[in-house]
Amino acid sequence: MSANPLPVSKRIIQVCLFLVAAIALFGGTLQMFLGEPTISPRLDNVHRFMAGVYFSMGLISFWAAWTIRSQGTLIYLIAFGVFMGAVGRLVSMSIVGIPEPQGLWLGYLTPELVVPVIILIAQLAGRKAIKDA
């Protein structure tokens, strides 16, 4: 056990980042493998490129969670990236509708909207605690 236990705010961020990492690593791998073969080669190419970006986001999130004690701005950037992914889903849903099964896609969207807010609040709380100490 560490001589200095991790503050609760950092532990919350760490758990959220490990969750983001697991989702992005699994999703990126799956989408890289599956692609979108029913569409044009150009769109499949873009889809698999974005799967690689998604996978790399998982590695970055895992590393940030593992090295949480030394992270600052990167935490905000990861939260922003996840939130912008949710914004992309919302734009898609507003233009072309919610894919079927709707519950599954809304289930993807919910943590993408909630987890970045939790990370942001915990990061700000941790910074405030350091300033007040």
Rounded mean pLDDT, 6-14 = 94
What are 70-114's pLDDT values in tens digits? 999 999 999 999 999 999 999 999 999 999 999 999 999 999 999
DSSP state of 68: G
Kind and range of the H or E run holding 131: helix 102-132
Output the pLDDT for position 126: 86
How many Å apart are CA 19 and CA 129, to the nearest integer?
24
DSSP state of 100: S
**Structural domain boundaries of the chain?**
8-132
Short-list 113, 21, 111, 28, CA closest to 67: 21
Q: Is the pLDDT of residue 1 over 70?
A: no
Classified as helix, coil or strand, 83 is: helix
Q: What is the pTM of this model?
A: 0.87
DSSP state of 3: S
Classified as helix, coil or strand, 38 is: coil
